[in-house]
Structure 1
Amino acid sequence: MKTIVFFDFDGMLYKKDSLLEFTKFSRGNISFYTGLLLLLPYLIGLKLRIYPNEKTKIKFIRHFFKDYKYDDFNTLCRNFSLTKIEQNLAKETYTKFLNHLENNHLVYIVTASLPEWIEPWSNQFGVSVIGTKIEVQNNLLTGNFSTKNCFGIEKVSRIKELINLDEFDEIHVYGNGKGDIEMLTISKRFI
C-alpha cells in the first residue's frame, strides 16, 4: 500500500508561528517589536479580515528582510532551523511524523512559511517542503514572493503541481488552521 502524508508546519508540527520566531531570532527583540508596532495597522486589518493575508505577509517580509543578501539570509535560516525548531515541536504531532517516516511513507511539509528556514531541519529526515518562495534578484531579497502565498487553495494547487495523488492508496493530512481547510479535502484519511 502506497501512502503519502502532508503536514502543515506552523501550529501543527511546530507549536508557534515560524515567521515570527525566525524574525525575532534573526533581527533581535528590539527590532522585531519596533517593526510590529510599525506594521500594526496591517496586522489589525488582517485580524479583522479587512486586509488580505498575502499582502500583510509581504509588508512584513519587506519591512524586515528587503535588500537582505540571500546568502546571509540562508545562513540565518540554517542557524534558526538547526537550533530552534527542535525546541518547539508539537510532541504528539512530531511522534506521528516520525511514525510515518519509520513506516516508509512519503512525507511532505506544506506551509505558508518560507522553506529556507524549515528545510535545513526537514532535510535531516529526507522530507521536502512545499512553501511560499521568496523573490531574489542579484542575490538580494526583494521583499516580494516569486510564488503565491502557499495558503488555503494554493496548498492544494502546489501539491497537485508536484504529485499525482492518484498513485497513492492513502493520503494523510495533518492541518489545524484556516489555511489548511482545502488541503484536508484531498485526504483519503484526514487527521
Structure 2
Amino acid sequence: MNRKLYLFDFDGTLTKKDTLFDFLSYSFPKEYSYNYFLFTPLFVLAKLKILNKGKVKEKFISKFLKGFSKTAIDKLSNNYFINNHQSLIYPKADQFIKSINNYNDKFIVSASLDFWLQPFADYYDMGLICTIADFDQKGNFTGKFLSANCNYLEKKNRIEKEIDLSLYDEVIAYGDTKGDESMFSITSKNFYRYFS
C-alpha cells in the first residue's frame, strides 16, 4: 500500500475566510474595528511589499494579545473553534479530511498562529506546521513570534525540517495562493482551490 502525506494550507483552502482577522474580531468585538482602522496603512504597505508582512501581522496580533496568559489565549482559541468551525470549514474539505485513511499522515501548513489553529488540528487529528507564538517564562504572550512567519519559502523549509519526506510514496498538497507555491514544489501532486 502506498503511504501518502497530505499537506493542507489553512486560510482560504480549508476555510471560507482568513482566520487571523476572524479570530481577533470574534474574540475582541469592541476593540477590533478601531485597531483594524489604525493598522490599515500598515496592511497596505505590507501588501505593496514596502513593509515586512510577517512583522505587521506580529504587531497587529500583539495589539490585542500581548501579556495574555497561555491559559487565557487557549480559552479564547477553543471558544472560537467551538462556535465557528462548522461554518468556517468548507463542507467538502471537512468530509475529505475525515475520509483520509489512518495509514496516511495529514498536516495543516499555515502562516496563521499555533494557538488558534491547534483546536482545528486536534479535531481533525492532524499535525501542525505554522507560525509559533512566543511565551515568556511566566507563560504570557510576549507579542512576538518564536518562528518566522510560515509562508512562501518558509513553508517548504519547515516541512523539510519537521517531516521525513522519504517515508512517503506520495506527497499531496492543497493551497490557494502564491504563498503555497514553495510547498507545491516538493510535492508529487498539488491542488489549487480544490475545496472552495
- TM-score of the aligned structures, taking structure 2 as reference length: 0.91
The aligned amino acid for 1:41 is: P
SS in 2 for 1:113: strand
Using the TM superposition, give the Cα deviation of residue 125 of structure 1 relative to its aligned residue in structure 2, in angstroms.
2.6
Using the TM superposition, give the Cα deviation of residue 94 of structure 1 relative to its aligned residue in structure 2, in angstroms.
2.9
Confirm whether residue 116 of structure 1 aligns to residue 115 of structure 2: yes
Write the mapping of 1:1-191 to structure 2, written as runs, cut at 5 A: 1-28=2-29, 30-99=30-99, 101-102=100-101, 104-137=103-136, 138-191=138-191
The aligned amino acid for 2:53 is: N
The one-character-per-residue Cα deviations of 1:20-44 (angstroms, maximum 9, x if unpaired) are 111011111x311100111112111
Identity of aligned residues (%): 30
- Could you list the runs of 4 or more consecutive aligned residues of structure 1 that deviate by over 3 angstroms after TM superposition? none
Using the TM superposition, give the Cα deviation of residue 48 of structure 1 relative to its aligned residue in structure 2, in angstroms.
2.1
Using the TM superposition, give the Cα deviation of residue 47 of structure 1 relative to its aligned residue in structure 2, in angstroms.
2.2
* C-alpha distance in structure 2 between counterparts of 1:181 and 1:56, whole Å: 22
The aligned amino acid for 1:125 is: Y
CA contact 2:47–2:53 (8 Å) conserved in 1: no
Using the TM superposition, give the Cα deviation of residue 106 of structure 1 relative to its aligned residue in structure 2, in angstroms.
0.6
SS in 2 for 1:25: helix
Aligned residues: 189
The one-character-per-residue Cα deviations of 1:68-94 (angstroms, maximum 9, x if unpaired) are 122101110111122212211122333
Using the TM superposition, give the Cα deviation of residue 103 of structure 1 relative to its aligned residue in structure 2, in angstroms.
6.2
Specify the alignment match of 2:194 in structure 1: none
* C-alpha distance in structure 1 between counterparts of 2:62 and 2:102, whole Å: 41
The aligned amino acid for 2:181 is: I
Q: Using a 3 Å threshold, how does the CA distance of structure 1 residues 68 and 186 change in structure 2: closer, same or farther?
A: same
* C-alpha distance in structure 2 between counterparts of 1:124 and 1:104, whole Å: 18
* C-alpha distance in structure 1 between counterparts of 2:77 and 2:186, whole Å: 30
- TM-score of the aligned structures, taking structure 1 as reference length: 0.93
* C-alpha distance in structure 2 between counterparts of 1:38 and 1:113, whole Å: 21
CA contact 1:82–1:121 (8 Å) conserved in 2: no
The aligned amino acid for 2:183 is: M
CA contact 2:114–2:133 (8 Å) conserved in 1: no
Using the TM superposition, give the Cα deviation of residue 4 of structure 1 relative to its aligned residue in structure 2, in angstroms.
0.4
* CA-atom RMSD in angstroms: 1.4
The one-character-per-residue Cα deviations of 1:91-146 (angstroms, maximum 9, x if unpaired) are 233333233x2464210000011121122232123212111111111221111001
Structure with the higher helix share, 1 or 2:
1
SS in 2 for 1:118: helix
